Structure 1
Amino acid sequence: MSSKPSVLFVCVHNAGRSQMAAGWVTHLAGDAVEVRSAGSAPAESINPVAVEAMREVGIDITDQKPKILTTEAVQASDAVITMGCGDTCPIFPGKRYEDWELTDPAGQGIEVVRQVRDEIRGRVEKLLAELTA
């Protein structure tokens, strides 16, 4: 295990919630926390409304691509945060798991996605406080 904590965000398509959460971790913690995101059934590309919502707060996630969830990614992470992927996430003993119930931004307008973005920020801030304590 590396000296810095690592977190993996997982949602079904790895196109909205998990990408926004990873963007917040990178923005708020810099290099202090290793961050990954993945999906159980990755989309072709990131949700453009999620990209726009993050751009509004000065975070650029345009270079991210949806990735498939792997056993290795879970094993390499200290905390695994799931967002609506249910039982598709592999479970390993000794890992910290949390399921964040968040509205899926897919197909939603910018107003809804902004609310999801802001809720994710609050949860990420709490998680970072716990991981870096």
Structure 2
Amino acid sequence: MNTAPVVLFLCTHNAGRSQLGSHLFRHVAGDRARATSAGTSPADAPSEPVVLALAELGIDSSNAQPRAVTVDDLVTADVVVAMKPGLELPGPVAGRFVQWEFPDPVNWDLDGVRELRDSILLQVEELVEWVAPAQG
């Protein structure tokens, strides 16, 4: 049985910010914690500049598929990270709720997304140390 903490990253379209958050979290946390992502109004596909920006760090997100957040997501996650304030959620959050504020990278080019990726990475590194600190 896997008892690693689960972190759910949320944004509107699950194409940019929450994809960055979840993939960066997995990259930093390794097997110490699990991450997933969803959106309140999912897009058809992740943002191409987001996929490219993650690939620059050796993270393959090419098979990621935006999806809608569910009530089950909200009650099973140990931590829910809203990547923008004011998201309309389908139910209550059972675990810890964290709210970050990052701009929506819709229609951004790769240079802009790189900056966003690096800003999110700093927040993610702190979150990983709080949720699943390294042992030893």
Q: How does 1:1-80 map to 2 (within 5 A)?
A: 3-80=3-80
**TM-score normalised by the chain length of structure 2:** 0.90
- Which residue type is aligned with residue 131 of structure 1? V
Residues 83 and 58 of structure 1: is their aligned pair in 2 closer, same or farther, counting only changes over 3 Å? Answer: same
- 1:88-114 per-position Cα deviation (integer Å, ceiling 9, x unaligned): 123335x21111111211111111111
Give the secondary-structure state (helix, strand or coil) at the position aligned to 1:38: strand
- Count of residues in correspondence between the two structures: 132
Match of 1:91 in 2: 92
- Which residue type is aligned with residue 109 of structure 1? D
- Which residue type is aligned with residue 106 of structure 1? V
Greater shift, 41-50 or 102-111, is seen at: 102-111
Match of 1:132 in 2: 132
- Which residue type is aligned with residue 102 of structure 1? F
Following superposition, which runs of at least 4 residues in structure 1 exceed 4 angstroms of deviation?
none
Contact 2:80 2:93 (8 Å CA) reproduced = no
1:109 aligns with 2:109: yes
Contact 1:7 1:36 (8 Å CA) reproduced = yes
- Which residue type is aligned with residue 4 of structure 1? A
- Which residue type is aligned with residue 12 of structure 2? V
Per-residue deviation, 1:85: 5.8
Structure 1: unaligned runs, 5 residues or longer: none
- Which residue type is aligned with residue 42 of structure 1? P
- Percent of aligned positions that are identical: 36
Per-residue deviation, 1:2: 5.3
Alpha-carbon separation, structure 2, partners of 1:87 and 1:115: 23
**TM-score normalised by the chain length of structure 1:** 0.92
Match of 1:82 in 2: 82
Per-residue deviation, 1:84: 2.1
Q: Cα RMSD over matched residues?
A: 1.6
- Which residue type is aligned with residue 92 of structure 1? V
- 1:27-68 per-position Cα deviation (integer Å, ceiling 9, x unaligned): 111222111100000000000010011111111111110011
Contact 1:9 1:83 (8 Å CA) reproduced = yes
Alpha-carbon separation, structure 2, partners of 1:107 and 1:62: 18
